[in-house]
Structure 1
């Protein structure tokens, strides 16, 4: 547990968390929407600081990043909690619940990467924004040792925390859930404009960005609106690599897996705007 960054006291019993666009107002002894930032005695604490749910060596293509250090290996680390509540969450056991955890400091994580002769660390599995303090400290230490840092993120973060983190980030994969503003709120409890702003800021700061769209039935359906979205994304972010990933029934969302013919139709639309639009999670 560690005092959180980016919050303000509203009165003796309430604080406002400023790390993401929810701007949660948190009474004493309560947590914000992410379940991992808690008001204790008028101080906001990160409950998941130093708490690791998963640590693994992955191929970089699994993030997915296909145009940043291809065919390399990366140390992947995750904690628990999320600032969105996607009904189709693919990692709900750590995003929506508290799993079995191991204790590791930022120094421990960087040391593990060095022991394994790995040149990059990915903050992944759950949402890095909600273990922000852990990510920032680890990334700073890694950078000092010449180790690169990668975010695998939903992009739902406020501009100020993002700005403080970006100098230490080398690459990112941002997961865009849907092109529909209303569905982003009702199905994911997020905000599309905030996510697109994050993508734009990462690109502006010369961070390598690839974008994943999980093609969830009911969220990626209308080819006309999809074409408008891809056109807007191209104007906003440039010719970023695009990963069109197949959804499978998970968590609260029980629709059948994405139809492969539909995925190919969406891929065809995407290829009008992006040089690389690859189908993913298809075996």
Structure 2
């Protein structure tokens, strides 16, 4: 039996074709047309799709950002509370938007207390370095690129302050989940094997992923160091615990930031289907 990554799906009795997409809207269109059945997406993206009428549920957490998403500032700013009145560069509607709103709220502020400077994540750090803004919210590899400019810039706040806030899940339409319980269990168990393989073989596993996404291994290693992958046991604990409340927090932040797009904040129960995880744990 092949225990290397290419054999994990086969080991668990599922026939899976992996398809890469560049844009979220293309994923939603492919799902709606039936060309794909399961998607890997950010938790906030699933919430947005649910609000757009897609009958989705998440069934497994893939990963959560710890230090791969961060608020950066110059050394004169020492806490999030000092962001009041400051110019903050971040990408609207992105995970950076979510992290900034959470960080502000956790420190008694709101987005109205800062001067928002909408920029792509790739440009936010550059704006900070150039002195056009006081603060930048971005993600790897742009965090490391900004910090490499010298000791005048630092990480002020990271996604690790709220586990699960910036996370990726596997999700599918509820009709597919109901009709294919064995396939979902197989996918979950294959993922668990892959996480174990990567933990046991970080260099080989890292190269496989970096090659698959077309990333230089140096950039991959930097970004991957700031992400936690959830194995099966960690999924079981998180999905039946804190992650459900985190989903509701994410939805509430999104609704406050974009009330026209996010009219409904899903409960953890509405967002998740735990049948496949529970079945995988039981096997």
Where on the TM-score scale, by shorter chain, does this alignment land: which range? Answer: under 0.3
Higher relative contact order (CA 8 A, sep 6+): 2
Structure 1 or 2, whichever has the larger Rg, is 2
Greater strand share, structure number: 1
Q: If the length of structure 2 is used for normalisation, what is the TM-score?
A: 0.23
